[in-house]
């Protein structure tokens, strides 16, 4: 059996990985080793490792890393703490392959430890751009440390090759999260109300906003503009999900708590909903507001419009259901009014999601089986040639 180590550090990333983890667990050719770290192990972020275990997965190793601060220096120190434990884990258990998704600093720590241990790595969701976040640099760095690449669009496949990766190592398989949406039965409004206590109104908005980590000093100002815009809508239910453990993420979460306390009849907040309830909520609201990748990748398949605010997701391939606006109250108001209008809603049925493909996790499994012996030495592929 091939030992595959899958690292997960956040609720969102685990949801994207779910279908692939399930297939790896059920396949006799693989010995799945899940490593949970980051927000999964924090009570502040909902101890979401419990959701992994309740789904029937065994966590092979829990790696503590969060320090109770989200300043850049604190995050750097937390990465250093995790680096030591990842180094020991890979030395003691040495998987045949490390599988990493995305662009968060937890994945960078695992990638560096895997690189130094000379363990082959596979990377999911490479080649994407997020010009307003430090995640972009992390994502491209993990790409250069990895040996197999599973990207979500053809443009991203070309971009990974442009980074010097050999074309026969780069595979366009679509977005994993969309496969999960097809496999589960999403909850109805009635079921969501029973589980979460949501009171639906004439309009309902799902809000997820994360710091622009390359412009973190303006985080508070940008979020204040968003809250000001939301306050101008009457008979509207605002459903917040909290920010990640990024620089100044706690500042956003504190502002959310204060806003919900002042607007308790029209706003509610959840630290961690889990993938099924989050996607179910997304499918029932009138629009997704903020700067989360879920508004770019998942929302279009549910025929739900997105107001994407600011620079955090700038550069990503987008469906026509995504409306971009500046982090200014007047612009946000205008964008929300437009995407929830009957005029815009009539367009949604004809909009296609560029990330959607079939059998994403199954194709990844097939490719992994076809690469049982992955060469560590890579040749830099000159794109112009």
pLDDT (mean) for 262-282? 93
Q: Which of 32, 140, 56, 115 is nearest to 368 (CA)?
A: 32
Q: How far apart are CA 312 and CA 262, in angstroms?
A: 28
pLDDT band for position 37 (cuts 50, 70, 90): very high
The per-residue pLDDT for 385 is 65
pLDDT band for position 43 (cuts 50, 70, 90): confident
The per-residue pLDDT for 227 is 97
pLDDT (mean) for 26-45? 93
Residue 11 pLDDT > 90? no
CB 340 within 8 A of CB 203: yes
pLDDT (mean) for 96-123? 97
Four-way CATH pick for 186-350: 2.60.40.1180, 3.20.20.140, 3.40.50.2000, 3.40.50.300: 3.40.50.2000
Domain map of the chain by residue range? 2-174+357-369, 186-350
Average pLDDT of the residues of the chain: 94
Task: Using DSSP, state whether 296 is helix, strand or coil.
Answer: helix
CB 17 within 8 A of CB 101: yes
User: Of 64-78, 169-183, 232-246, 297-311, which gets the smallest average pLDDT?
Assistant: 64-78
Question: Domain spanning 2-174+357-369: which CATH class is it, in words?
Answer: alpha beta
The per-residue pLDDT for 244 is 80
Q: How far apart are CA 159 and CA 141, in angstroms?
A: 13
Q: 218-253, pLDDT tens digit by residue?
A: 889 999 999 999 999 999 999 999 988 777 788 899
Residue 192 pLDDT > 90? yes
C-alpha separations of 222 from 80, 269, 290, 330, 337 in Å: 30, 19, 10, 12, 19
Q: Please, what is the Cα angle at 277 between 271 and 282, to 5 degrees?
A: 95
Q: What is the 3-state secondary structure (H, E, C) of 111-143?
A: HHHHHHCCCCEEEECCCCCCCCCCHHHHHHHHH
The per-residue pLDDT for 305 is 97
β 322-325/306-309 pair status = parallel
Contacts of residue 264, Cβ cutoff 8 Å, sequence gap at least 6: none
The per-residue pLDDT for 46 is 85
Residue 68 pLDDT > 80? no
Q: Which helix (H) or strand (E) holds 148?
A: strand 148-151
Predicted TM-score (pTM) of this structure = 0.92
Residue 211 pLDDT > 90? no
Cα of first residue to Cα of last residue in the chain, in angstroms, is 39
pLDDT (mean) for 269-280? 91
Same fold? 2-174+357-369, 186-350: yes
Contacts of residue 174, Cβ cutoff 8 Å, sequence gap at least 6: 152, 153, 355, 356, 357, 358, 360
In sequence order, the β-bridge partners of residue 5 are: 33, 98
Residue 19 pLDDT > 90? yes
Torsion of CA 199, 250, 50, 18, to 10 degrees: 80
The per-residue pLDDT for 218 is 87
pLDDT (mean) for 270-290? 93
Q: Tokens 């909903």 sit at which residue?
A: 273
C-alpha separations of 96 from 30, 70, 119, 239, 362 in Å: 10, 34, 7, 42, 19
The per-residue pLDDT for 278 is 94
pLDDT band for position 301 (cuts 50, 70, 90): very high
C-alpha separations of 60 from 33, 36, 63, 116, 167 in Å: 5, 8, 10, 21, 33
Q: 317-356, pLDDT tens digit by residue?
A: 999 999 999 999 999 999 999 999 999 999 999 999 999 9
């Amino acid at each position: 059996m091939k030992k595959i180590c899958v690292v997960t550090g956040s609720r969102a990333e685990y949801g994207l990985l779910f279908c692939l983890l399930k297939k790896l667990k059920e396949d006799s050719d693989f010995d799945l080793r899940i490593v949970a770290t980051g927000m999964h192990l924090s009570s502040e972020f909902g101890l979401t490792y419990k959701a992994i275990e309740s789904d029937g997965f065994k966590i092979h190793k829990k790696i503590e890393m969060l320090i109770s601060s989200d300043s850049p220096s604190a995050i750097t120190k937390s990465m250093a703490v995790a680096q030591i434990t990842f180094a020991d884990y890979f030395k003691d258990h040495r998987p045949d392959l490390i599988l990493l998704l995305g662009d968060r600093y937890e994945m960078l720590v695992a990638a560096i430890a895997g690189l130094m241990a000379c363990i082959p790595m596979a990377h999911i969701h490479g080649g994407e751009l997020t010009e307003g976040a430090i995640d972009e640099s992390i994502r491209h760095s993990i790409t250069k440390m990895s040996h197999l690449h599973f990207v979500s669009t053809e443009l991203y496949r070309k971009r990974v090759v442009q980074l010097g990766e050999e074309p026969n190592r780069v595979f366009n398989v679509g977005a994993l999260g969309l496969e999960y949406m097809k496999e589960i039965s999403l909850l109805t409004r009635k079921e969501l109300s029973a589980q979460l206590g949501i009171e639906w109104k004439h309009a309902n908005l799902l809000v997820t906003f994360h710091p622009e980590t390359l412009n973190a000093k303006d985080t508070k100002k940008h979020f204040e503009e968003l809250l000001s815009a939301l306050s101008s809508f009457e008979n509207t239910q605002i459903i917040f999900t909290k920010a990640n453990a990024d620089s100044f993420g706690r500042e956003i979460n504190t502002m959310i708590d204060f806003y919900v306390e002042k607007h308790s009849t029209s706003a509610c907040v959840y630290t961690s909903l889990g993938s099924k309830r989050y996607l179910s909520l997304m499918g029932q609201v009138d629009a997704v507001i903020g700067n989360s990748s879920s508004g770019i990748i998942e929302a279009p398949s549910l025929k739900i419009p997105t107001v994407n605010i600011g620079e955090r997701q700038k550069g990503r391939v987008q469906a026509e259901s995504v409306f971009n606006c500046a982090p200014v109250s007047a612009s946000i108001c205008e964008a929300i009014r437009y995407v929830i209008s009957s005029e815009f809603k009539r367009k949604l049925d004809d909009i296609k999601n560029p990330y959607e493909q079939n059998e994403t996790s199954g194709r990844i499994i097939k490719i992994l089986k076809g690469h049982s012996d992955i060469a560590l030495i890579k040749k830099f592929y000159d794109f112009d040639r």
